[in-house]
Chains A and B, each alone.
Chain A
Amino acid sequence: MKKILTGNVICNDQIANDIYKMQISSSHMGTIRAGQFVNIYLEDKSLLLPRPISICDADENSITIVYKVVGKGTKELSAYKTNEKVRVSTPLGNGYFIDGKKFGGQTDDYKGKTVTVVGGGIGVPPMVLLARKLKEKGAQVTAAIGFQEEPFLVEELGKYCSEVYVATDNGTSGFQGNAVQMIREKNICSDEYFSCGPKVMLRALSDFCAEKDIPCQVSLEERMGCGYGACVGCTCKVKVKTEQGTEIQQRGVCKHGPVFFGEEVAWDE
């Protein structure tokens, strides 16, 4: 059964402009896949809907989320102090496919393979747990991460990645431009790409991977209602092969995603 748990805030620190990192004690989370998210249920009851936030990292007794303060809900979250209670769901959605068979091939064995995790802005946090899991599977992991201005989580990614390439829109840190431009210009090659970030970035990466015939997985974002598949508020369009050919079908981002294969996504629909 999925559950709503009450955890304790272990720490909640600002790590960049408007970016906070919160660690929450939670010993009954169950198995967590990289790329899954949790719903955070707020105390301010005028803000009805839960806030879906990706899992940045996790251990047996805690999860870490990294979020951007963009409105009243995340503002409330940023004010939580150590030892305060926070209501959080068990992991939701499907994460990155790195176990078992997957679309177009095998993923079990990453030994000797090179992979690149590509994050843009607030899409960078789930790359940390993903990089860790991929490294544990024997992959050589590279990170290519892009920000508007101020980078974050570079050090954390450095623990699991042989290289961490940073891009900023204004060039104040690292490469000037976005993460996919950086991948192209620096020729960051790998056997598979994994990404989370703005749709325009995900699409650019998907196009890049299609050109080179390399698999890529993208984590989509959509405004959610329930976050667990009951309301059908968040959908995306995917290409599905049928006996008649390829047809466009709708999928729930929270339930079937948020991770999809780049070639599945019907970007123009």
Chain B
Amino acid sequence: MNNLDLSVDFAGVTLKNPVTTASGTFSARESGEFYDINELGAVITKGVASEPWAGNPTPRIAETYGGMLNAVGLQNPGAVAFIEQEISYLKDFDTRIIANVAGRTIEEYCSVVEMLNETDVAMMEINISCPNVKKGGIGFGTDPRMAAEVTKAVKAISRKPIIIKLTPNVTDITEIAKAVEAEGADGVSLINTLLGMKIDTQRKKPVLANIMGGLSGPAVKPVAVRMVYQVRRAVNIPIMGLGGIMTGEDAAEFIMAGADIISVGTAALVNPTAPVDILQELKLYMQEQGFKTIADIRGAFNA
């Protein structure tokens, strides 16, 4: 497989391969206990806010058929601790760092972006799509005007490329994608989780303490592929595709739909080595199909 070139240019940043870790499912030390982080094109860290967030009460996790619901609520230690603990640890690895940024207000997003400007982060992914926080989060992601406003504000101060993470919980995702592209977003990532719910019919109560949570895993993959396909035809900026990628062929499917790079999320909870396994499977798939580059995969798709 030495003749394969998996490198990708994403928003002006070169990644050695298109496989990254979806925010919220990767932790440098813990994930690194199962595989060599250096193998990945990039790692995307957990959402970080300007101040520590406690997240939601437990239970925060519920399994569903072919998927899972989470209502973690972006628990994080705040940007100062995050930079000290996570970025300073990750910077010595040979992989790009993409920091996921959370906020309840535009000012909060900007404050984190300002702090991350001074770090080894290669790009920032702005989370305007978390369904588990009451203020900010999805509130920005479902309204094209608000999505544009956040994008404009963070672009004005960021010295790194900005990726906007989009929610699938909208009528037309292309409207939001076009709105953030118009304000200078360097890329978009999609999809974040679908708002879902599970009821314990024995206890007659919701399974999650938060009642509702975000659905992820293979159950959402067809929705995600469809949205990547739609957004690819609506905007010209690069796309990070994610949502239920479990295998190398799943990754290829997202690339055919229009993704430039992909993120592995829930699969890493199901199998801790999933990100590197999927990369290996993608290489095997390319070899079997006679593809030499990621562009070859995309070019082979014919709708």
Those of B24-79 within 8 Å (CB) of chain A: 24-27, 29-31, 33-35, 46, 54-55, 58-63, 65-68, 70, 72, 75
B68 touches A225 (CB 8 A): yes
A232 — which chain B residues lie within 8 A by C-beta?
24, 27, 46, 55, 60, 72, 75
Contacts of B217 in A (CB 8 A): 48
* A222-B271 CB under 8 A given contacts A3-B34, A228-B33, A233-B72: no
- Across the interface, B70 reaches (CB within 8 A) one of A3, A89, A231, A235, namely A231
Are A48 and B67 also in contact (CB < 8 A) when A1-B33, A2-B34 are? yes
Q: Which residue of B lies closest to A227 (CB)?
A: B269
CA distance A3 to B26 in the complex (A): 16
A235 in contact with B61 (CB, 8 Å): no
Choice from A2, A223, A234 contacting B62 with Cβ under 8 Å: A223
B270 within 8 A of A: yes
Does B280 reach chain A (CB closer than 8 Å)? no
A41 interfacial contact with B, CB 8 Å: yes
Contact assessment for A231 and B55 in the assembled complex, using a CB-CB cutoff below 8 Å = no
Give B5-28 as 1s and 0s: 1 = Cβ < 8 Å from A's Cβ atoms: 000000000000000000011110
Most A Cβ at <10 Å: residue of B34, B46, B269: B269
The answer to the question of A226 belonging to the interface, with a C-beta cut-off of 8 Å to chain B, is yes
Complex contacts, A224 vs chain B, CB 8 Å: 61
Query: Are the CB atoms of A234 and B61 closer together than 8 Å?
Result: yes
Q: Does B144 contact A (CB under 8 A)?
A: no
Interface residues of A in 39-64 (CB under 8 A from B): 41, 45-50
Contact status B61-A228, CB under 8 Å: no
Interface contacts beyond A228-B31, A232-B46: sample of 19 additional A-B pairs, CB < 8 Å, sorted by A = A2-B33, A2-B34, A4-B271, A41-B271, A48-B217, A48-B266, A48-B269, A49-B270, A225-B60, A225-B70, A228-B272, A231-B61, A231-B70, A231-B269, A232-B24, A232-B55, A232-B72, A235-B55, A250-B55
Interface of B is mostly: loop
Asked if A200 is at the interface (CB within 8 A of a chain B CB), the reply is no
Q: Is A230 at the interface (CB under 8 A from chain B)?
A: yes
CA distance A224 to B58 in the complex (A): 10
- Determine whether the beta carbon of A235 is less than 8 Å from that of B75: yes
A177 close to B (CB within 8 Å): no
Contact assessment for A230 and B31 in the assembled complex, using a CB-CB cutoff below 8 Å: yes
In the complex, are the beta carbons of B25 and A226 less than 8 A apart?
yes
Q: Are B58 and A225 in contact (CB under 8 A)?
A: no
Nearest CB in chain A: distance from B247 CB, A: 11
Does more than half of chain A's interface fall in helix, strand or loop, or is it mixed? loop
Instruction: Name 12 A/B residue pairs within 8 A (Cβ), A-sorted.
Output: A1-B33, A2-B34, A4-B34, A4-B271, A45-B66, A47-B63, A49-B61, A228-B30, A231-B269, A232-B55, A232-B72, A250-B75
| A residues 212-269 touching B (CB-CB < 8 Å) | 222-226, 228-236, 250, 255
Q: Which residues of B contact A228 (CB under 8 A)?
A: 30-31, 33-34, 272
CB of B273 within 8 A of chain A?
yes
For residue B268, CB closer than 8 A to chain A, the reply is yes
User: Roughly how many angstroms separate A48 CA and B70 CA in the complex, as a whole number?
Assistant: 13
Complex Cα distance A49/B59, Å?
Answer: 15
Inter-chain contact B67/A233, CB cutoff 8 Å: no
Shortest CB–CB separation between residue A65 and chain B, in angstroms?
A: 19
- Contact between A50 and B34, CB atoms less than 8 A apart: no
Shortest Cβ distance from residue A223 to the other chain B in the assembled complex, whole angstroms: 4
Q: How many A-B residue pairs have CB under 8 A?
A: 97
In whole angstroms, what is the CA distance A154 to B89 when docked?
47
Residues in B75-125 with C-beta less than 8 Å from chain A: 75
Give chain A nearest CB distance to B77 CB in angstroms: 10
Give, as a whole number of angstroms, the nearest-CB distance from A249 to chain B.
9
Contacts of B273 in A (CB 8 A): 4
Chain B residue at minimum C-beta to C-beta distance from A2: B33
A49, B34: Cβ atoms closer than 8 Å = no
Partner of A222, one of B26, B27, B59: B59
With A2-B34, A235-B58 known as contacts, the answer to whether A226 contacts B272 (CB < 8 A) is yes
Decide: B272 and A4 in contact? CB cutoff 8 A: yes
| A250 and B63 within 8 A (CB) | no
* Least CB separation from A72: chain B residue: B63
Q: Would you give the 0/1 interface string for B245-261, flagging 1 where the beta carbon is closer than 8 Å to chain A?
A: 00000000000000000
Contact of B65 (CB < 8 Å), options: A2, A46, A236: A46
A50 to B270, CA, bound (A): 6
- Chain A residues with Cβ under 8 A from B29's Cβ? 229
Task: Give every chain B residue within 8 A of A236 (Cβ-Cβ).
Answer: 58
A223 partner residues in chain B, CB cutoff 8 A: 58-62
Bound CA span A46–B218, Å: 9
Q: Which chain A residue has the least Cβ–Cβ distance from B61?
A: A233
Interface centre among A2, A46, A48, A229 (most CB of B within 10 A): A48
Pairwise interchain contact A48-B55, C-beta atoms closer than 8 A: no
Complex: how many Å from CA A232 to CA B61? 9
Query: Can you name the residue of chain A whose Cβ is closest to the Cβ of B76?
Result: A232
Q: Mark B128-172, 1 if CB is under 8 A from A, else 0.
A: 000000000000000000000000000000000000000000000
Chain B residues with CB below 8 A from A89, complex form: 272
Given the contacts A2-B33, A48-B68, A225-B68, A230 and B268 also touching, CB distance less than 8 Å = yes
Tell whether, in the assembled complex, residue A250 and residue B61 are in contact, meaning their CB atoms are under 8 Å apart: no
